[in-house]
Amino acid sequence: MSAAFRIAREEWRLLWRDRVAVMGLVLLLMLTAMSAFTAWEQRQGADAERSRYQDQADHEFAAQPDRHPHRMVHYGQFAFRPVNPLASFDAGIDPYTGHTLYLEGHRQNSPNFGDVRQSSLMLRFGQLTPAFVLQVLAPLLLIFLGHASVARERESGTLRLLVTQGLQPGQLVAGKLLVLAGVAALALAPVVLTLLWIGTATSAPLSLALLLIGGYGIWLFLWAVTVVGISTLAARGRDALIVLLALWAVSVVLVPRLGADLVAWSQPLPTRFETDISVARDLAAMGDSHNPDDPYFNKFRKKVLTQYGVSRVEDLPVNYKGLLGMEGERLTSALFNRYADASFSAQEQQLRYVDAFSLVSPVIALRRVSMIASGTDLHSYRGFLEQAEQHRYQLIQELNRLQAEKLTYAGDRSSDNRIGREHWQDIADFRYAAEAPADTLRRALPMACVLLAWLASLVGLLVLVSRRLGRSTR
Amino acid sequence: MTWLAHEWRLLWRSRLAMAGLLLLLILSTLAVGSGLSEVSRQQQTIARLADLQRQELATQQPKLTHEGDAGTVAYYTFLGTWDEPSDAAFLALGLRDAAPYVLRVRALALQAQLHDGEVFNPELALAGRFDFAFVLVYLAPLILIALLYDLVSGERHAGRLATLLALPGAARGLWVRRAALRAALVFACLCLPMLGGALASGMSAATCAVVLVTVFTYVAFWSGLALIVATRGYSSIANATALMGCWAVLTLVLPTVGNAVLAQSVPVCQGVELMLAQRQAVHGAWDLPREDTMQQFFRTHPQWQHTAPLPAGFHWKWYYAFQQQGDESVAPQVAAYREGLLARQRWSKRLGWLLPGVGVQAILHRTAATDLLAQLSYQDAIAAFHAQLRTHYYPYLFNEIHFGADDFAQLPRFQPARADGVVPSVSLLALTLVAGLAAMLGMCAGRQTER
C-alpha cells in the first residue's frame, strides 16, 4: 500500500472519530436530500399547474363562438413556460421571470407573474435547491473538515517526524487531499443519484445531467485542493481557517453580488416605458393603414392590385382588409422583434461582463454552467419568448388570412360579420421545444473551460506548495 | 477610561482586526455609494420619462383631438405613472429592480395593464443587490465573528489567560469590555457611511433613528452570540466552527428553508386565474347583448342611466362600459391574489421575529419603502389614478361632448403618494427582544469566566 493511502486512512479515521465532522457531513447530506425533495415537489407542482392552465387556455380558445376573425386576434392566446426537469436541481432565473405570456395581435406583451414579485423578500435569500447547497454550503463543510489537515501535522511536530522517516511531503499532501476529495464525493453522492435518475427517468437529456455532475464535481474538488493547499501553507490550523473562510466569503458571497451590481450599474437597460414610446414613434413613422392617403399603404395597395390584375380593391378575389391586417402585423412584428433582440443582446452583453468576473471567482463560472445545463438561464428563457412570439405571429396571421379568405370586402363592415367557430379549432396549440442538448453543451463550454482552468491552476499551485513544504521541513 | 486607551492600543496592533474593520468600512461605503447612485439613476429615469411623455402627448394631441371623439382619445392616450424612490431607498433597493417603478396606463381595463413586468436582466437580479442591507445582514456578522471568536481562546493560546484572570479588579468584565469596543467599532464602520448617505439623500431624522436602532440591535445580537460562544472555554477552531455554523444557519439555511415552506403553503396562482378570467370577461362582452351590458354597468354607475340609448353599431361608451365591467367581474380574484401576497408578506414578517437577518431585511425594506407592500401601494396609486381617468372621460362619452384640445390639456395627471414615515414597530420590537436576550446572555457568560 502506498504511503499516500496510509496517510489517507489515518486522516479518515481521525475525521470519523470527530463527532463535529460527522455531524456536519450528516447535516449537509440531510439538507441536500431535503432540498432535492422539496425542489422536485415544487417543480412537479408548478409544471402540472402550468400545463393545466395551458390546457384551459387552449380549450377556451377552441371553444369560442362564431366570430369575426379580428375579434379572435384581440382575444388572443396564452403561452405558459413549462419547467425543465433539471430546474429542480437549479431553479436559476425561473422564479425571477414571468411564466405566463399573453399573446395578442398588434402587441408583444411581457411575461407576468414571476415569483420574485409575489414572494415578499424571502426569495432574495436564495432558493432551497441542491445547487444552492452544493454551491454555498458544501465548500464551508470542506473548509471546516480540512483546514487543519496538514497544518495540524506541522503544529504538533509530527510533520518533521514523518519526513525524517522517509515520507515524501507530496505523499502526505496527496493523502490529505484524497480524504477531503472523498468527503466531497460523499457530499455529492445523493445529488449524483438524483441527477442520474432525472437524466434517465424524465425527458431531461442524460448528457446535461452528466454535465452538472461534472461541473459540481470539479467545483468541490477545487475546494478540496484549495483547503489542503492553504492548510499546507499556513503556520497554524487557526490561520488556515481564517484565510479559507475569508476566501469563501469573498468568492461565494461577495464577488457574485458586487460583479452583478457593477455590471447593472455601468450597463443600464432601457425601461419598457421608453421602449414602448420608441416603438410607437417608429410605427407612426412607418405609416397608418387607416389613412387612405398614407404613402406606404397606398404603395402596398397598388402592389396588391397589380398582383391580382384588378383596378379596385372591391374587385379582389380576397378581402383586402385581411391583407392589410397581415401586412400591418408583418411590419409591427418585425419592429417588435428588432426591439426585443436589442434588449436581449444588451442583457447578454451584460452577462459577458459578469463572465469576466469568473476569473476572480470560479463560482460565477459554475453558476453559469449549472443554469445552462438546467435550462434555467437567460438564453433558454429567451428561447421560450422567441418560440412564443413565433407562435403568436403564426396565430395572428392565420386569423388575418381567415379574414382575407372567408369574408368578402363588401361583407366585412363591422365585427358583427362572423365566421364559423370550427376555424378556431384548426389553429395549432403552442408547444415549447427545448434546445437540442448538443447546443446546450456547446454554450456551456466556455465557462466549463474556465472551471477546468481554475482546477488546473490550483492543482499546479498545490504541487508547488507541497514542494515548498518539503524544503521547509528539511 | 484608561482601559479604553489600552484596549484600543491592543486592537490597533492586531493587523488582522484592523484590516477587517477597514474592509467593512470600505464595503459599507461602496454599498451606500452604489445605492445612492442607483436611486439617482432611477430619479433621472423618472424625470427623463416625464419629459418624453410630455413630448409624446404634445405630438399626439392634434391627431387625437382632430375629430373630438373622447373614445378615440381614451383608447390611444397612455399616461405615465411613477413610483418615486423614498429618501431611504438607497439603503435597501429591494424589489425596485424587478418590479416597474414607471408604468403607462390608459382608460382600458386596468387588470390587463397593472401586472406588466419591467425589462430587467434576471441573471443579474438573481445575484442580488450589493446594497447596505446586504453588507449589514451578511457581511457585518462575518467581521464580528472574525473579531470575537478567539477573544478568550486567543489569550489562552498566547499564554496570557491565567495572568489576565488573576489581575485584581482589572479583569472584571474584561471580555464584555473588549467585545463592546469591537462591536462599537463595527457599528461605527457601518453607520458612518450610512449617515453620510442619509445626509446626501435628505433622509428624515426619524428614519435615520430607525436604521441606527436596527444596526445597533443587529450588531448587539451577533456580539452577544459571539461572546456566548467565545467564553465557553473551547478552542479557537471550535468557536469559529460554531459561530460560522450559526451564521450559515441563520442567514442562509433557515431563510431559504422558510422561503420554500412559504412558497409551498401559501400558493398565489390566482394571478394567472385573474388574467384568464379577465380575458374571458372582456372579450366575451363582444358576443353579449349590448343592452344587458349597459344595464349591468348602470347598476354601479346610476348617474349615466338616463343618457341617450345605444345607437346601432359600435359606440365607445359601450366599449368602455364592458372594459370597466371586465375589471369589476374579476374583483374577487384580485382580492384573493392580493390576500395571497399579503399572507406571504405577513408570514415572512413573522419569520423575521425569529430570524434576526430576515427581521433586519424586513425592517430596512419597509423603512425604505422598497418591499412588496410598497409595490402594492404603488399599484393602488395606479388604480386610483386609473379610476380618476375613467371618470374624467365618462361625461364626454355618455353626454357625447366634443373632446377638444383644451379638454386634452385638462386630462388628469398622476400624483404619486408619498410612502415615507413607516416605522415597522412590531418587527423592530421583536428584533430588539431577540438581540437584547443574546446580548444579555453574552454579558453574563463574559463575566462568568472570571470566577
**Between chains, do B256 and A256 touch, taking CB under 8 Å as contact?**
no
Nearest to B119 among A93, A127, A269 (CB): A269
- Cβ proximity of A50 and A83 under 8 Å: yes
Residue A376: the pLDDT is 94
Task: Note the residue count of chain A.
Answer: 474
Name chain B contacts of A20, Cβ cutoff 8 Å.
238, 241
Residue B213: the pLDDT is 96
Which of A26, A122, A347 is the best substitution to test chain B (most B C-beta atoms within 10 A)? A122
Tally of helices (H runs) and strands (E runs) in chain B: 21, 2
Instruction: Say what the pTM is.
Output: 0.90
- CA distance to partner chain A, nearest, from residue B256 (Å): 5
- Cβ proximity of B46 and B82 under 8 Å: yes
**Between chains, do B262 and A20 touch, taking CB under 8 Å as contact?**
no
**Between chains, do B275 and A112 touch, taking CB under 8 Å as contact?**
yes
Report how far residue A45's alpha carbon sits from residue A52's, in angstroms, rounded to the nearest whole number.
11
Name chain A contacts of B78, Cβ cutoff 8 Å.
276
- CA distance to partner chain A, nearest, from residue B245 (Å): 9
Name chain B contacts of A144, Cβ cutoff 8 Å.
241, 244
**Between chains, do A92 and B97 touch, taking CB under 8 Å as contact?**
no
Give A94's contacts (C-beta < 8 A, 6+ positions apart). Answer: A83, A87, A115, A376
**Between chains, do B119 and A116 touch, taking CB under 8 Å as contact?**
no
**Between chains, do A42 and B263 touch, taking CB under 8 Å as contact?**
yes
Residue B1: the pLDDT is 65
- Find the Cα–Cα–Cα–Cα dihedral B384, B390, B391, B397, rounded to 10°: 180
Nearest to B256 among A120, A127, A350 (CB): A127
DSSP A143-189: HHHHTTTTHHHHHTTHHHHHHHTT--HHHHHHHHHHHHHHHHHHHHH
Residue B3: the pLDDT is 77
Report how far residue A232's alpha carbon sits from residue A296's, in angstroms, rounded to the nearest whole number.
76
Name chain A contacts of B355, Cβ cutoff 8 Å.
none
- What Rg do the C-alpha atoms of chain A give, in angstroms? 30
Which of B126, B132, B276, B367 is the best substitution to test chain A (most A C-beta atoms within 10 A)? B126
The backbone torsions φ and ψ at residue B204, rounded to the nearest 5 degrees and listed phi first, read -75, 155
Report how far residue B302's alpha carbon sits from residue A370's, in angstroms, rounded to the nearest whole number.
60
**Nearest residue of A to residue B123, measured between CA atoms:** A93
**Between chains, do A242 and B146 touch, taking CB under 8 Å as contact?**
yes
Report how far residue B275's alpha carbon sits from residue A186's, in angstroms, rounded to the nearest whole number.
47
Amino acid at the residue B151: L
Nearest to B271 among A102, A113, A415 (CB): A113
Nearest to B240 among A241, A269, A343 (CB): A241
Report how far residue B71's alpha carbon sits from residue B64's, in angstroms, rounded to the nearest whole number.
10
Name chain A contacts of B348, Cβ cutoff 8 Å.
120-122
Report how far residue A225's alpha carbon sits from residue A178's, in angstroms, rounded to the nearest whole number.
10
The grid coordinates listed for B99 are: 418590479
Residue B421: the pLDDT is 55
**Between chains, do B115 and A121 touch, taking CB under 8 Å as contact?**
no
**Between chains, do B128 and A257 touch, taking CB under 8 Å as contact?**
yes
The grid coordinates listed for B146 are: 472574525
Beta strands in B209-318 (DSSP E): none
Identify which of A226, A235, A134, A253 has the alpha carbon closest to the alpha carbon of residue A185: A134
Assign B339 to helix, strand or coil.
helix
Kindly state the DSSP code that residue A428 receives in the 8-state scheme. P
**Between chains, do A60 and B280 touch, taking CB under 8 Å as contact?**
yes
Count the alpha carbons within 13 Å of B184 in the hemisphere toward its beta carbon. 10
Report how far residue B266's alpha carbon sits from residue B336's, in angstroms, rounded to the nearest whole number.
12
Nearest to A257 among B134, B241, B348 (CB): B134
- Cβ proximity of A313 and A223 under 8 Å: no
Kindly state the DSSP code that residue A134 receives in the 8-state scheme. I
Give A36's contacts (C-beta < 8 A, 6+ positions apart). Answer: A88, A89, A129, A130, A190, A191, A194
Classify strands A107-108 and A100-104 as parallel, antiparallel or unpaired: antiparallel
- CA distance to partner chain A, nearest, from residue B129 (Å): 6
Q: How far apart, in Å, are the Cα atoms of B293 and each of A223, B304, B315, B414?
A: 68, 13, 13, 30
Report how far residue B368's alpha carbon sits from residue A422's, in angstroms, rounded to the nearest whole number.
55
pLDDT tens, residue by residue, A65-109: 888 889 899 898 999 999 999 999 999 998 888 888 999 988 888
Per-residue pLDDT of chain A (474 residues; tens, 9 = 90+): 588 888 889 888 888 888 878 888 898 999 899 899 888 988 898 899 899 999 999 999 998 888 888 989 989 899 999 999 999 999 999 888 888 899 998 888 888 877 888 877 888 888 889 999 999 999 999 998 999 888 888 888 888 888 888 888 889 999 999 999 999 999 999 999 999 999 999 888 999 999 999 999 999 999 999 999 999 998 888 888 889 988 998 999 899 999 999 999 889 898 888 888 888 888 888 877 777 778 888 889 899 999 898 888 888 888 998 998 999 899 999 999 999 999 999 999 999 999 999 999 999 999 999 999 999 999 999 999 999 999 999 999 999 999 988 888 887 877 678 888 888 887 878 889 989 999 999 999 999 999 999 999 999 999 999 888 877 665
**Between chains, do A110 and B283 touch, taking CB under 8 Å as contact?**
no
- Cβ proximity of A130 and A151 under 8 Å: no
- Cβ proximity of B28 and B193 under 8 Å: yes
- Cβ proximity of B231 and B449 under 8 Å: yes
Name chain B contacts of A93, Cβ cutoff 8 Å.
122-123, 125-126
**Nearest residue of A to residue B351, measured between CA atoms:** A122
Give A361's contacts (C-beta < 8 A, 6+ positions apart). Answer: A250, A251, A252, A255, A256, A259
- Cβ proximity of B449 and B153 under 8 Å: no
DSSP B386-403: HHHHHHHHHHHHHTT---
Assign A203 to helix, strand or coil.
coil
- Find the Cα–Cα–Cα–Cα dihedral A97, A372, A183, B146, rounded to 10°: -50
Report how far residue A52's alpha carbon sits from residue B276's, in angstroms, rounded to the nearest whole number.
12
Residue A371: the pLDDT is 96
Name chain A contacts of B38, Cβ cutoff 8 Å.
265
- CA distance to partner chain B, nearest, from residue A93 (Å): 6
Which of A35, A109, A273 is the best substitution to test chain B (most B C-beta atoms within 10 A)? A273
- CA distance to partner chain B, nearest, from residue A349 (Å): 11
Mean pLDDT over the full length of chain B: 89
Task: Note the residue count of chain B.
Answer: 451
**Nearest residue of B to residue A72, measured between CA atoms:** B283
Nearest to B45 among A245, A271, A415 (CB): A271
- CA distance to partner chain B, nearest, from residue A3 (Å): 28
Report how far residue B408's alpha carbon sits from residue A380's, in angstroms, rounded to the nearest whole number.
45
The grid coordinates listed for B449 are: 469566566
Assign B96 to helix, strand or coil.
helix
Name chain B contacts of A34, Cβ cutoff 8 Å.
257
Give B70's contacts (C-beta < 8 A, 6+ positions apart). Answer: B316, B393, B396, B397, B401, B403, B407
pLDDT tens, residue by residue, A377-423: 999 999 999 999 999 999 999 999 999 888 888 878 776 788 888 88
Name chain B contacts of A71, Cβ cutoff 8 Å.
283, 286
- Cβ proximity of A141 and A148 under 8 Å: no
Nearest to A271 among B49, B124, B125 (CB): B49
Report how far residue B379's alpha carbon sits from residue A206's, in angstroms, rounded to the nearest whole number.
45
Report how far residue B322's alpha carbon sits from residue A46's, in angstroms, rounded to the nearest whole number.
33
Name chain A contacts of B124, Cβ cutoff 8 Å.
260-261, 263-264, 350, 354
**Between chains, do B344 and A98 touch, taking CB under 8 Å as contact?**
no
Amino acid at the residue B322: F
Identify which of B129, B120, B145 has the alpha carbon closest to the alpha carbon of residue B89: B129
Report how far residue A179's alpha carbon sits from residue A182's, in angstroms, rounded to the nearest whole number.
5
**Between chains, do A272 and B262 touch, taking CB under 8 Å as contact?**
no
The torsion region of residue A127 among left (phi > 0), alpha (psi -120 to 50) and beta comes to: beta
- CA distance to partner chain B, nearest, from residue A471 (Å): 28
Per-residue pLDDT of chain B (451 residues; tens, 9 = 90+): 677 888 888 888 888 888 889 999 999 999 999 999 999 999 999 999 999 999 999 988 988 888 888 999 999 999 999 999 999 999 999 988 888 999 999 999 998 898 888 889 999 988 888 999 999 999 999 999 989 988 888 888 888 888 877 776 656 688 888 899 999 999 999 999 999 999 999 999 999 999 999 999 999 999 999 999 998 888 888 888 889 889 989 998 899 999 888 888 887 767 788 888 888 888 888 888 888 888 888 988 888 888 888 888 888 989 999 999 989 999 998 998 999 999 999 999 999 999 999 999 999 999 999 999 999 999 999 999 999 999 999 999 898 889 988 889 899 999 887 665 567 889 999 999 999 999 999 988 877 665 4
**Nearest residue of B to residue A49, measured between CA atoms:** B269
**Nearest residue of B to residue A67, measured between CA atoms:** B287
Report how far residue B194's alpha carbon sits from residue B91's, in angstroms, rounded to the nearest whole number.
8
Report how far residue B377's alpha carbon sits from residue B338's, in angstroms, rounded to the nearest whole number.
11
Count the alpha carbons within 13 Å of A172 in the hemisphere toward its beta carbon. 28
Name chain A contacts of B343, Cβ cutoff 8 Å.
none
Nearest to B123 among A118, A271, A377 (CB): A377
**Nearest residue of A to residue B48, measured between CA atoms:** A274
Residue B451: the pLDDT is 47
Nearest to B34 among A75, A147, A265 (CB): A265
Name chain B contacts of A260, Cβ cutoff 8 Å.
123-124, 126-128, 130
- CA distance to partner chain B, nearest, from residue A278 (Å): 10
Range A204-211, long-range pairs (CB < 8 A, 24+ positions): A204/A84, A204/A85, A204/A86, A205/A437, A205/A440, A207/A437, A207/A441, A208/A86, A208/A373, A208/A374, A208/A375, A208/A437, A208/A440, A208/A441, A209/A86, A209/A373, A211/A369, A211/A373, A211/A441, A211/A444, A211/A448
How many contacts (CB atoms, under 8 Å) link A and B?
Answer: 247
Report how far residue B41's alpha carbon sits from residue A378's, in angstroms, rounded to the nearest whole number.
24
Name chain B contacts of A345, Cβ cutoff 8 Å.
none
Residue B165: the pLDDT is 78
Residue B448: the pLDDT is 67
Amino acid at the residue A4: A
Give A88's contacts (C-beta < 8 A, 6+ positions apart). Answer: A36, A39, A40, A42, A43, A44, A129, A198
